[in-house]
């Protein structure tokens, strides 16, 4: 097992602009010396920089994944920032091509202004870059859709020799390019399939977790989009189930100037569970500000009400707060048995609950390295927020470790863009297309230029 301090590092104090090291978003890892970072201005420059690089090369987006994904150690290594490659490159009837460094909020705003949306529902936040999000399998919820990368039609990237490849969804290697952890090359543009905007009405509810095993399947089969937060301590589940809005509901949204409509009737059934969670989070983080960002991630469940809005207004409502997050995908068919096992574990050992367990299911993905490759999958998500002083609750981390172990034993596969203990997984067994992926990698990067220490170990 990986040492707990290596896996979940402390957060560094606020950065001094003079600081020579570049940190990741969570500020828990030094990625590289700032003079190793090259801010690319165009694709041609990117080709030259990659072709000329003598050391290792990693490409960064918003740096929201764990630091080890991007960390470089040696003089001569290069960390490439492609954030200047942003915006719309081409618009077609059913697709839009974005530069790879475009942040997701800009993708969503652009599409919304065109009265279009992606078939994939969004995750909770939208500050990731498009390339960073697809490269790790970023996803939202709903069995009728899958990850963001599953909406890609073409991916343009620069390989280790500096050559441009335009990989289209008709080519066999597309399934490798869809989720490649930055190991095939630097993505410069992504063409996304779009569809006309649909409005959703989201029904929020609170229920007992007694039948969660069957309820979860039922919600996901009956509703277009479904997300649940499981509070094992209170034996409660808070659920957001959404379907397409009716003409009357759409009218209400238009009358609200296209803003999210929060229906008047509120429900206080989650309030006690939220108060208890808040108390635990306060004890764990020592953050005194009542409106502190981590607290707002749960206070929104108090006095909840149904809402009407577009998919981004309804689901992309997260508050990005420094955290350790783990998310493990389990084949949907196995999810009820795994929930039952987690219940038994909870009853037996009453682990410390820092935050509720987040349950999101997706349909099958085409990407070879997506945990949901060719099968509907339930993702079990866990979060521990950083304390004011940069530490993490020991009990919270103990819970994360035990939960990950339990899910790994059940054949779970971790989200690549979050935290995970790589020693728990046998990748070639979990991913039948593992060696096919490696063959594509060999073609794009025969010398392993895009592999830092963590990637080398992971893919070896
Ligand atoms: C607060 C928070 C909330 C989150 N919510 C969700 C969620 O709801 N759903 C979900 O699925 N995930 C979620 N995530 C995970 C997140 O989506 C991933 O970590 C994602 O990879 C971050 O994108 P980024 O732009 O920060 O990429 P980075 O962290 O910068 O990079 C991630 C990977 O992508 C590669 N990469 C980046 N840009 C390029 C490029 N141009 N070409 C080739 N490779 C590239 C990097 O090399 C690296 O391997 C969340 C993370 C946080 C911190």
Which CATH number covers residue 243?
A: 3.30.465.10
Task: Report the separation in Å between the CA atom of 59 and the middle of ligand 1, taken as the mean of its atom positions.
Answer: 11
How far is 370 from 452, CA to CA, in rounded Å? 21
Atom of ligand 1 nearest to the CA of 450: 47
How far is 238 from 219, CA to CA, in rounded Å? 12
In this prediction, residues 294-298 reach a mean pLDDT of: 76
- By mean pLDDT, which of 7-21, 181-195, 244-258, 336-350 is the weakest? 7-21
Structure tokens at 36: 């190793």
Whether pLDDT at 169 is above 80: yes
In a domain, residue 40? The reply is: no
Q: In what order do the strands lie in the sheet with 164-168?
A: 88-92, 95-99, 186-193, 152-158, 164-168
In this prediction, residues 55-66 reach a mean pLDDT of: 98
Task: Report the separation in Å between the CA atom of 323 and the middle of ligand 1, taken as the mean of its atom positions.
Answer: 14
Task: Report the separation in Å between the CA atom of 80 and the middle of ligand 1, taken as the mean of its atom positions.
Answer: 15
- For 355, the 3-state DSSP assignment is coil
In a domain, residue 238? The reply is: yes
- Average pLDDT taken over every residue of the chain: 95
Instruction: Measure Cα distances from 315 to 105, 141, 147, 443 in Å.
Output: 13, 9, 15, 39
**Pocket mutation for ligand 1, best pick of 79, 135, 177, 186 (most atoms within 8 Å of C-beta):** 135
In a domain, residue 456? The reply is: no
In a domain, residue 7? The reply is: no
Structure confidence by residue, pLDDT tens digits, 367-384: 999 999 999 999 999 999
Task: Report the separation in Å between the CA atom of 314 and the middle of ligand 1, taken as the mean of its atom positions.
Answer: 21
- Residue 239 belongs to domain spanning: 82-429
Please report the sign of the dihedral spanned by the C-alpha atoms of residue 134, residue 136, residue 137, residue 141: negative
- By mean pLDDT, which of 18-22, 38-42, 98-102, 183-187 is the weakest? 18-22
**Pocket mutation for ligand 1, best pick of 128, 297, 319, 359 (most atoms within 8 Å of C-beta):** 128
Whether pLDDT at 296 is above 80: no
Q: What's the Rg (C-alpha) of the chain?
A: 22
Task: Report the separation in Å between the CA atom of 320 and the middle of ligand 1, taken as the mean of its atom positions.
Answer: 13
State the chain's maximal CA–CA distance in angstroms.
62
Whether pLDDT at 13 is above 80: no
Task: Report the separation in Å between the CA atom of 402 and the middle of ligand 1, taken as the mean of its atom positions.
Answer: 24
In a domain, residue 50? The reply is: no
**Pocket mutation for ligand 1, best pick of 84, 132, 152, 160 (most atoms within 8 Å of C-beta):** 132
In a domain, residue 94? The reply is: yes
Instruction: Measure Cα distances from 51 to 46, 179, 188 in Å.
Output: 8, 22, 15
pLDDT at 15: 65
328 near 31, Cβ under 8 Å? no
pLDDT at 265: 87
Structure tokens at 146: 């899958």
**Pocket mutation for ligand 1, best pick of 26, 61, 99 (most atoms within 8 Å of C-beta):** 61
Task: Report the separation in Å between the CA atom of 256 and the middle of ligand 1, taken as the mean of its atom positions.
Answer: 33
The residues pairing with 191 across neighbouring beta strands, listed in sequence order, are 97, 154
Task: Report the separation in Å between the CA atom of 133 and the middle of ligand 1, taken as the mean of its atom positions.
Answer: 4
Buried b (16+ CB within 10 A) or exposed e, 17-53: eeeeebbbbbbbbbbbeeebebebeebeebbebbeeb
How far is 384 from 353, CA to CA, in rounded Å? 9
Ligand 1 contacts (CB < 6 A) are 58-65, 69-70, 82, 100, 123-125, 128-129, 131-133, 135-136, 138-139, 181-182, 186-187, 318, 320, 323, 325, 415, 417-418
Whether pLDDT at 297 is above 80: no
How far is 158 from 41, CA to CA, in rounded Å? 14
Domain count, the chain: 1
In a domain, residue 435? The reply is: no
In this prediction, residues 243-248 reach a mean pLDDT of: 98
How far is 341 from 333, CA to CA, in rounded Å? 14
* DSSP state for residue 15 in the 8-state scheme: P
If you search the block for the tokens 């029904």, which residue do you land on?
A: 203
pLDDT at 273: 83
How far is 387 from 397, CA to CA, in rounded Å? 12
Task: Report the separation in Å between the CA atom of 248 and the middle of ligand 1, taken as the mean of its atom positions.
Answer: 38
Whether pLDDT at 18 is above 80: no
pLDDT at 279: 82
355 closest CA partner among 211, 229, 226, 227: 229
Whether pLDDT at 294 is above 80: no
For ligand 1, atom 7, the nearest C-alpha belongs to 123
Share of the chain above pLDDT 70, in %: 98
In a domain, residue 354? The reply is: yes
Task: Report the separation in Å between the CA atom of 282 and the middle of ligand 1, taken as the mean of its atom positions.
Answer: 28
For ligand 1, atom 8, the nearest C-alpha belongs to 123
Atom of ligand 1 nearest to the CA of 139: 11
Atom of ligand 1 nearest to the CA of 82: 41
The residues pairing with 136 across neighbouring beta strands, listed in sequence order, are none
> Which residue has better confidence, 353 or 420?
420
Structure confidence by residue, pLDDT tens digits, 176-197: 999 999 999 999 999 999 999 9
pLDDT at 272: 86
């Amino acid at each position: 097992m990986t040492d707990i301090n290596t896996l979940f590092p402390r957060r560094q104090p606020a950065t001094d602009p003079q600081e020579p090291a570049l940190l990741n978003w969570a500020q828990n890892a030094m990625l590289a010396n700032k003079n190793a970072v090259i801010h690319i201005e165009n694709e041609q420059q990117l080709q030259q920089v990659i072709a000329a690089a003598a050391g290792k090369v990693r490409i960064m987006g918003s740096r929201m994944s764990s630091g080890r994904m991007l960390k470089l150690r040696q003089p001569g290594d290069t960390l490439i920032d492609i954030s200047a490659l942003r915006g719309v490159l081409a618009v077609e009837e059913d697709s839009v091509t974005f530069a790879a460094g475009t942040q997701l909020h800009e993708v969503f705003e652009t599409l919304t202004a065109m009265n279009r949306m992606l078939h994939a529902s969004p995750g909770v936040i939208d500050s990731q870059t498009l390339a960073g999000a697809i490269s790790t399998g970023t996803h939202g919820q709903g069995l009728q859709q899958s990850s963001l990368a599953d909406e890609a039609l073409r991916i343009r990237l620069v390989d280790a020799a500096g050559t441009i490849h335009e990989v289209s969804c008709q080519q066999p290697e597309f399934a490798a390019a869809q989720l490649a952890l930055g190991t095939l090359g630097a993505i410069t543009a992504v063409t996304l399939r779009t569809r006309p905007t649909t409005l959703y009405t989201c029904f929020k509810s609170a229920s007992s977790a007694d039948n969660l095993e069957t309820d979860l399947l039922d919600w996901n089969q009956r509703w277009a989009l479904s997300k649940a937060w499981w509070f094992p301590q209170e034996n409660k589940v808070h659920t957001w189930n959404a379907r397409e809005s009716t003409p009357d509901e759409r009218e209400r949204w238009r009358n609200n100037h296209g803003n999210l409509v929060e229906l008047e009737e509120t429900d206080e059934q989650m309030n006690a569970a939220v108060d208890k969670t808040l108390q635990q989070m306060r004890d764990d983080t020592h953050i005194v500000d009542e409106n502190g960002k981590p607290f707002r991630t749960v206070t929104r469940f108090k006095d909840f009400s149904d809402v009407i809005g577009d998919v981004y207004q309804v689901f992309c409502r997260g508050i990005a707060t420094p955290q350790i997050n783990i998310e493990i995908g389990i084949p949907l068919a196995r999810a009820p048995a795994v929930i039952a096992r987690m219940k038994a574990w909870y009853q037996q050992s009453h682990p410390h609950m820092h935050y509720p367990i987040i349950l999101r299911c997706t349909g099958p993905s085409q990407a070879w390295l997506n945990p949901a490759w060719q099968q509907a999958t339930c993702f079990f998500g866990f979060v521990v927020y950083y304390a004011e002083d940069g530490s993490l609750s020991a009990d919270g981390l103990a819970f994360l470790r035990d939960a990950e172990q339990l899910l790994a034993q059940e054949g779970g596969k971790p989200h690549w863009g979050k935290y995970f203990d790589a020693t728990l997984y046998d990748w070639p067994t979990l991913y039948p297309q593992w060696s096919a992926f490696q063959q594509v990698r060999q073609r794009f990067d025969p010398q392993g230029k895009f592999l830092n220490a963590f990637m080398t170990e992971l893919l070896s």
